[in-house]
Amino acid sequence: MASEEKTREILKAIQDAVVGYDEETCERLCSSVLEEGIDPHRAVVEGLTGGMERVGELYNSQEYFVPELLLCADALNAGLNVLKPHLKIEDAARKGKLLIGVVEGDIHDIGKNLVRIMFEAAGWDVYDLGNNVKIERFVEEQKKANTDIVALSALMTTSMLAMPKIIGALKAQNPGVKVLVGGAPLSQEIAQRYGADAYAPDAVAAVKRAADLIG
């Protein structure tokens, strides 16, 4: 069993490996978490997720761009794959379930993928439908996966017009489901007009809004 000091040192090194997008080191450090008898849940929250939070800040302050962010997410996932089988069932219980997709007519999926990465890093169960997703598919898949939240992304003024229809159809099927929207042409005002429960301007804010929505 590692001392608290040693534990903190390893967790900090995991954070640094995520921030430095060093997949191999991250994987190795996560294995050492298991060898040293450190709680894997703590390693996920304080090490991997903590690292990705720092990455989100670096992205928002334009020190990191999409290439760095994608590789940081790869490092996080490499570590998570090592730790996941060792999480206790109650620890593995995720923060919430989220269905995400880019709306019909739109293939701009880079922003949506960043949003997905941030949710995964924060411990959500994410069902990703990809891009150019038809209205009926959102409704069907929400029912199947019974998610708390549906997250809709649109990058075009043309495609965002599908959002009110999707929101209407989702709420008709399941009045309790919460809908989060985002993407460059959206705004708080448009989100409200479309009947969404929340709007987020970026991937980091999206996770916070979603957490607020499910209380």
Partner 1 sequence: MSMRPDMMSNKERIDALLKGRPIDRVPHFPFIPGFCARNVGYPIAVMYSDAGKSFDAQQKTMEQYGFDWGPLYGYASYGTWEFGGTIKMPEGDYEQAPAHVTFPVQSEADVAGLQLPDVKKAGCLPTAMAFSHLQEKSDTPISVICGGNFTIAGNICSVETLCRWMLKKPDLVHALLRLATDHIVDLVRYWVETFGADRVIPQMWEPSAANYILSPKQFERFVLPYLQESSEKILAMGVKHILYHICGEQNANLPYWAQVPMGDPGLASLGEEVDADTAIKYFGDTCVIIGNIDGKVILEGTPESLYRLCTETIAKLKHAPRGYMMCSGCELPPASPPYNVYVMRKAINDAGWYE
Footprint of ligand B1M (CB under 6 A): 66, 106-112, 114-115, 151-153, 155-158, 180-185, 200, 202-203, 206
Among the listed residues 140, 193, 198, the one whose alpha carbon sits nearest the alpha carbon of residue 169: 140
- Write each residue from 116 to 155 as x if it is in contact with partner 1 (CB under 8 A), else as -, in one continuous string: ----------------x-----------------------
Q: If binding is defined by CB under 8 A, does position 21 make contact with partner 1?
A: yes
CA distance 161 to 158: 6
Secondary structure of residue 133 in the 3-state scheme: strand
Q: Which two tokens stand for residue 30?
A: 């996560």
CA 191 to centroid of chain Cα atoms: 20
Contact 211, 198 (CB under 8 A): no
Nearer to ligand B1M, 112 or 178 (CB): 112
Question: Which stretch, 7-15, 27-35, 63-71, 145-153, contacts partner 1 (CB under 8 A)?
Answer: 63-71
* Binding at 178: pick from ligand B1M, partner 1, none (beta carbon under 5-8 Å per type): none
What is the DSSP pairing of strand 149-153 with strand 125-128?
unpaired
Q: How far is CA 41 from CA 13, 81, 98, 174, in A?
A: 16, 13, 21, 33
In the complex, the smallest distance separating the C-beta of residue 107 from partner 1, rounded to whole angstroms, is 4
Nearer to ligand B1M, 108 or 143 (CB): 108
In the complex, the smallest distance separating the C-beta of residue 84 from partner 1, rounded to whole angstroms, is 22
Place of tokens 């489901």: 177
List residues near partner 1 by CB under 8 A: 21, 62, 65-68, 70-71, 74, 103-107, 110, 113, 132, 156-159, 161-162, 185
